Every structure is written in C-alpha cells, then in structure tokens.
Amino acid sequence: MSQKSLVDEMHQVQLAIELIELGARLQVLETETELSRTRLIKLYKEVRGMSPPKGMLPFSTDWFITWLPNVHSSLFYNIYLSLKEAAGCNRIDAFVKAYRLYDEQMSLEKMEPVLGLTRAWTLIRFFESDLLQLNQCTRCTGQFVTHAHSPAQHYVCGICQPPSRAGKTRKAQRENSEKM
C-alpha cells in the first residue's frame, strides 16, 4: 500500500469515526466515505458499543418546512453555507463543522437540538437535489429553508409570523405550570 493511499484511508477512517460520534447512520457513512460496509459496521460497533440502527432515512422535505424544524434547519444551513463559501471548506468538512457549531449553539442556549446529524445531512442532500431552497424573509431579511421553486416575493418566516400554536407543546406547558 502506498503512502498516499494509507493517508487517504486514515482520513476516511477518521471521518467515519467523527460522523459516528456525531450520530451518523450507516447510510450516511456509506455515502460520505469510501470504506466498505463491513468496515463501517465494525467501526460503528467500536465507537458506539452497539450495532448501527436499521431502517430507512427520512425522505420528506415537508419536515424541514414546519415551524420549529424550519428555524433550526435554516440556522444550520446558513452556517453550512458560510463555512463552504466564505471559509472555503469542502462539502463534508463544512457539513461536520456546521453541525458541530449548531450543536454547540444549542448547548449554549440550553436547548435540545431539533436537527439530528442524519436530518442535517438529508437537508444538504435536498438542497443539492434542488428540492429545497433559501428564501429571504421580507420582514427580517433572514434566509430560510423553503420548498424549491416556491414564490419568494412575499415570504415571511416563522420567526416573524409564528403559527398560533408555536411553542405550545405539552412539555412547554408543563414547564410553565411548574414555574407558577
């Protein structure tokens, strides 16, 4: 094995480990690395101490458009674009760094991340497949995730115009009643 191929393989293993630690599913690992499925399963078991979860990846753009997921998805995707375009990171490095920054921001705010790594990866793939786009809010001028080819001229984001039930989850109601 040549020095270059050994370095490439080490980089692939390191990337796989990093993605596993962040919560990547096997399908994500298979797509983003050049390692065999068998090798990825062994790595997953070493890192997580269990077999990778089974099942299909989410495949609906609608989830990213609903109120709270949209706010989180828009935050993540804007971080990703900044790293990719302004900082000059390649796609996968921008993705990993953006997810780490998103997760760190949620920790600082003492919030549970709404966007898991697999959903974040799926979001990127939906943009690459031209299923989603960013639209600018006409009120706050922020860039938000919307369905591709949706009208942009009168778009108002979910922060400027939240739905009537926004934030009224059972958990939020319990926490409010406990404070009283």
Who's near 76: CB < 8 A, 6+ residues apart?
98, 99, 102, 115, 120, 123
Who's near 52: CB < 8 A, 6+ residues apart?
25, 26, 40, 41, 44
Who's near 20: CB < 8 A, 6+ residues apart?
29, 43, 44, 47, 48
Asked if residues 145 and 132 have their Cβ atoms less than 8 Å apart, the reply is yes
Tokens standing for residue 74: 């828009």
- Using CA atoms, how far residue 124 sits from 2, 21, 65, 109, 148, in Å, is 34, 19, 14, 24, 13
Residue 89 known to bind ligand: no
- Specify the 3-state DSSP secondary structure of 137: coil
H-type alpha helices, 82-140? 91-108, 117-128
Residues that constitute the known binding site: 137, 140, 157, 160
Residues that constitute the known binding site for Zn(2+): 137, 140, 157, 160
